[in-house]
Amino acid sequence: MIIGIDYGKRKVGIATAESPLAEPHSVIRVTNFDDAVSKVVQLVEKLLPEKIVIGLSEGEMAKESRRFGNVIEQLTKIQVLFADETLTSWEAQQKSIEAGKGKKKRKEMEDAYAAAVMLQNYLDNNDTINI
């Protein structure tokens, strides 16, 4: 299994892939960086993935996401990779609309869908992956 993470300061989107297809898993609400680390480490210890892919945006958020990933890797001893997450939220919204998801459901799971889009892009472009 691979876990995809869309890190945010208030919400962390989680996706998983046990095959070449990424699926939204959950959205974790967090209060700060340390809370995000703690909650994600708990989830990682429960799911036991082979690797973790964290989305990187731009600027300061990219730096914080990279720091987040490095801490997660140190604490879990599971390989953390980084992937471009540019436009994943927009793409996730479009796919949710096309799938007929209501506005409330789209908003609740938006970060998990964005994580799934990012993880799917990673899977599609890295054919050396063993899931």
| Domain harbouring 29, CATH code | 3.30.420.140
> So what's the pLDDT on residue 101?
61
Residue 114 falls inside a structural domain: yes
What domain count does the chain have?
A: 1
- 25 is in which domain, residue-wise? 2-125
Residue 111 has pLDDT above 90, yes or no: no
Residue 130 falls inside a structural domain: no
Residue 37 falls inside a structural domain: yes
Residue 72 falls inside a structural domain: yes
What three-state secondary structure class fits 31?
A: coil
Which residue has better confidence, 59 or 109?
59
User: What's the pTM value of the predicted model, to 2 decimals?
Assistant: 0.84
Residue 117 falls inside a structural domain: yes
Phi-psi category of residue 109: left, alpha or beta, with phi > 0 → left and psi -120 to 50 → alpha? alpha
Task: Place 131 in a pLDDT band, splitting at 50, 70 and 90.
Answer: very low
Please write the tens of the pLDDT for every residue from 7-21. Answer: 999 999 999 999 999
Residue 65 falls inside a structural domain: yes
The H or E element spanning position 3 is strand 2-6
- Quick check: 1 and 111 in contact, CB under 8 A? no
> So what's the pLDDT on residue 130?
44
Residue 131 falls inside a structural domain: no
Please write the tens of the pLDDT for every residue from 74-88. Answer: 999 999 999 987 655
